[in-house]
Amino acid sequence: MCHRFSERRCEKKNYELGQLGWRDVEIGMARPLTFALVLSQSSMQPVSEPEGRDPISDYTREIEADPNNAAAYLGRGTAHLKAFNFDSAIADFTTAIELNPNDDAAYTNRGGAHYEKAEFDFAVADLTKALEINPKSALAHSNLGWTYEAMHDERKAIVHYRKALEIDPSIQAARDNLKLLGAPLECEILNWQKKRR
């Protein structure tokens, strides 16, 4: 199924999604699972996830030891998001925000959970707040592009994909979606790539 992109030919591709591993996605309706990969820019960092262990249980133990550990709520919310437990993810990200209201990662991740539930207005609000806190968040711009595209607002999607690439030209998903939308890349982005070669 090609969602609203049915007029275009859907292509199957593999994207590397960091900690999430390889996931087969359809271009044009791929889920921006990169929401789950945002870490806090502040001094707090989620606890590490030991291999072969249940990260949700590990983060829960961290929370039980320190109920004010915003990083543990962020980590557990991310683990819930990876496991497609969107309501639990939203609850944990909300608690992380209550404990640390200036953490753009918690807003970005909660926006991702809302996106996954097709609660696009909430996703836009959270991603916009993340950008108020950290205007240089390429991931928040890219994810806003995904969200606006899902809302059928291609003009705003293009604006945010381009902003994401201005900040971080290596975000391949933003580049691919611009191509799918028929939007040319900005000259500055192409020049940056030439200089890196």
Domain that holds residue 50: 41-103
Q: Are residues 124 and 193 in the same domain?
A: yes
Write phi, then psi, for 4 (nearest 5 degrees). Answer: -80, -5
12 found inside a domain: no
pLDDT of 140 above 80: yes
CA dist 31 and 81 (Å) reads 12
**Could you tell me if residue 82 is inside a domain?**
yes
Measure the CA–CA gap between 7 and 108, rounded to whole angstroms.
30
How many domains does the chain fold into?
A: 2
What pLDDT, on a 0 to 100 scale, did the predictor assign at position 115?
95
* Assigned domain for 133 exists: yes
Say yes or no: 134 and 195 in one domain.
yes
Average pLDDT on 175-180 reads 89
Return d(Cα 30, Cα 177) in angstroms, integer. Answer: 10
State in Å, rounded, how far the first CA of the chain is from the last one. 38
| Any domain includes 5 | no
Measured CA angle at 129 (ends 125, 135), to 5 deg: 130
- Domain identity same for 155 and 80: no
Q: Two tokens at 188?
A: 């500055």
Q: 77 with 128, same domain?
A: no
Same domain, 192 and 121: yes
Kindly state whether residues 137 and 195 are assigned to the same domain.
yes
Q: What is the pLDDT of residues 32-74, one digit of tens each?
A: 433 434 444 343 344 444 566 789 999 999 999 999 999 999 9
pLDDT digits (tens, 9 = 90+) for 80-134: 999 999 999 999 999 999 999 999 999 999 999 999 999 999 999 999 999 999 9
Task: Please tell me the pTM assigned to this model.
Answer: 0.71
